[in-house]
Copies of this chain bind each other. A is one copy, B any other.
């Protein structure tokens, strides 16, 4: 399976695939692949003739003081895992090839980027939207696969693709979890043993909140207060945000109606973990 590094090699490989009338699935990742990514690759391989997995720790989506330098990497393992799950190529560009000297263009998705992670990571979604636009255009992919763990990212990408008329279909895939409920994340490696033992509180609390809503609760503040109580009872947890928003527009809501997203970000030591659930009410 080829691992391509340069943009020109990627373009030429994609042109070959296109010439053979192959449909192309793209799985954009920052690498250090886990079962969540694998589920995206499996789905992409089922839907498309060819799958390309991008592995790129995108500097423009990290703010000052975030974990850009520390972000875990293991390209040989990623390549082997992608190949085993049916990827036909891995694209692993250097930052200076994606953003050469003089690079100046950024894609902003306003509104959808403002709340949740956008509050504590103000340039994050600008970086995500920019790199995904470039990956969509470089690959000419028919479909691109994103996990629902990054629910706001998924909403940003759906908005971006519709707004700019990018000819790619966006496919969201369910969150993959550890046996104890912790959402799979490359950042889970930052957790100490003690933090790792405490972190499943996020999923447990979200499940209880979901049950309350399914039992009829419709007041967002009640649900958020419940989640704050449950999670702040864990001494290792430091809440970044807990919000209830419209699933597609990411606008905060008071009353839980329509397509809703209940999302949170909580720090455990060095790890900032996110999790969520969505419901159609």
Residues of A participating in the B interface, judged by any CB pair closer than 8 Å = 7, 102-112, 129-130, 133-134, 137-138, 140, 159-160, 163-167, 249
The docked-state distance in angstroms from the alpha carbon of A18 to that of B97 is 30
User: Contact between B165 and A103 (Cβ–Cβ < 8 Å)?
Assistant: no
Known: A137-B167, A165-B134, A166-B137. A129 touches B105 (CB 8 A): yes
Of A104, A105, A160, A167, the most chain B CB neighbours within 10 A belong to A105
- Which residues from chain B contact A137 at a C-beta distance below 8 Å? 164-167
Q: Is the CB of B105 within 8 A of A159?
A: yes
A108 to B105 CA separation, bound complex (whole angstroms): 6
A–B pairs, 21, beta carbons within 8 Å: A7-B165, A104-B109, A104-B110, A104-B112, A104-B163, A105-B107, A105-B109, A105-B163, A105-B164, A106-B110, A107-B107, A107-B108, A107-B164, A108-B108, A130-B164, A133-B164, A134-B163, A134-B165, A137-B166, A137-B167, A138-B165
Q: Is the interface of A mostly helix, strand, loop or mixed?
A: mixed
Nearest-neighbor residue (CB-CB) of A99 within chain B: B163
Q: Are B108 and A106 in contact (CB under 8 A)?
A: yes
A260 CB, min distance to chain B CBs, angstroms: 17
Q: Which 4 A-B pairs have the closest CB atoms?
A: A105-B163, A104-B111, A104-B110, A138-B165
Residue of B nearest to A130 (CB): B164
Q: Which of A103, A133, A134, A163 gathers the greatest number of chain B CB atoms within 10 Å?
A: A163
Inter-chain contact A164/B108, CB cutoff 8 Å: no
Q: Which of B103, B107, B138, B163 contacts A103 (CB 8 A)?
A: B163
| A166 neighbours in B (Cβ, 8 Å) | 137
A104-B110, A104-B159, A134-B163 known; 9 new pairs, CB 8 Å cut-off, are A7-B165, A102-B249, A104-B163, A105-B107, A105-B159, A105-B160, A106-B108, A107-B107, A140-B167
Contacts of A107 in B (CB 8 A): 105-108, 164
For A167, the closest partner residue in chain B by CB is B137
Bound: A7/B110 CA distance, A:
22
Closest approach, in angstroms, between the C-beta of A6 and any C-beta of chain B? 12
In the complex, the chain B residue whose C-beta lies closest to that of A111 is B104
Give complex CA distance A130, B108 in Å.
Answer: 10
A244 to chain B, nearest CB (A): 20
Q: Which residues of B contact A130 (CB under 8 A)?
A: 164
Best-buried of A108, A111, A160 by chain B (most CB within 10 Å): A108
A109 partner residues in chain B, CB cutoff 8 A: 104-105
Which of A107, A110, A134 has the most chain B CB atoms inside 10 A of its CB? A107
